[in-house]
Amino acid sequence: MPGYSLYNKEWAENIAKSLRHKAISKVTVIEWEHWQSGGGIKIKKELEKIISEIGEEKQVNIIAKSVGTMVAMELLKIAKGKINKIILCGVPSVSEERKKLFRTALSDFPSKNIIVFQNTKDPFATFSEVRAFIDGINPEIIVIEKPASDHNYPYSTDFQEFLVRE
């Protein structure tokens, strides 16, 4: 689940290509409808599309960046039994409203099945801000600091290592 802007489509496609190359067989890139139609993201409609995409899959893993992290939490609230592991990168804000969403979604999701990657000086939310935010939700969730000062998350090797770990 990529970030909001169309720029994130390339990020998602690159991550998917890299993971497929590393023997993770099925990888689906979510393409937000607003990339084609304009306007803002329509969470409910996107969730319906994602649920349809998941279909009969027994378990899926999620890699989400930026606004995709919020969509992932909304999805987790309604499809918890279908979600195996979650990778969040570039959490874009750490408001109390977002904390409530994350706390609700993650209330009974195993902390060992989620990991967060945040760049040290991400311009939307720094590693320190996100670390404190996640600690306020569940201090057992691992938050990995990456030494970068942008909102780019090209860490497919790290993602793959987490996904194949038991």
Q: What is the CATH number of the domain that holds 83?
A: 3.40.50.1820
Higher pLDDT, 116 or 30: 116
Report yes or no on 50 lying in a domain: yes
The answer to whether residue 132 scores a pLDDT higher than 90 is: yes
pLDDT of residue 28: 76
Band of pLDDT at residue 6, cut at 50, 70 and 90? low
Report yes or no on 106 lying in a domain: yes
Higher pLDDT, 120 or 39: 120
Cβ within 8 Å of residue 121, ≥6 positions away:
127, 148, 149
Mean pLDDT to the nearest integer, 138-159? 95
Contact assessment for residue 78 and residue 51, using Cβ atoms and an 8 Å cutoff: yes
Q: What are 115's two structure tokens? A: 């990991």
What's the domain range around 13?
Answer: 7-164
Crossing angle of the two packed helices 7-21 and 156-164, in degrees rounded to 10: 50
pLDDT of residue 21: 66
Q: Taking the CA atoms of 57, 59, 63 and 68 in sequence, report the sign of the dihedral they define.
A: positive
Q: At 70, give phi and psi (nearest 5°).
A: -70, -40
Contact assessment for residue 137 and residue 103, using Cβ atoms and an 8 Å cutoff: yes
60: left (phi over 0), alpha (psi -120 to 50) or beta: beta
Report yes or no on 127 lying in a domain: yes
pLDDT of residue 23: 56
Report yes or no on 2 lying in a domain: no
Cβ within 8 Å of residue 40, ≥6 positions away:
34
Q: At 143, give phi and psi (nearest 5°).
A: -120, 120
Higher pLDDT, 164 or 57: 164
Contact assessment for residue 105 and residue 73, using Cβ atoms and an 8 Å cutoff: yes
Secondary structure element (H or E) that encloses residue 72, with its range: helix 67-79
CA–CA gap between residue 64 and residue 70 (Å, rounded): 8
The count of structural domains within the chain is: 1
The answer to whether residue 25 scores a pLDDT higher than 70 is: no
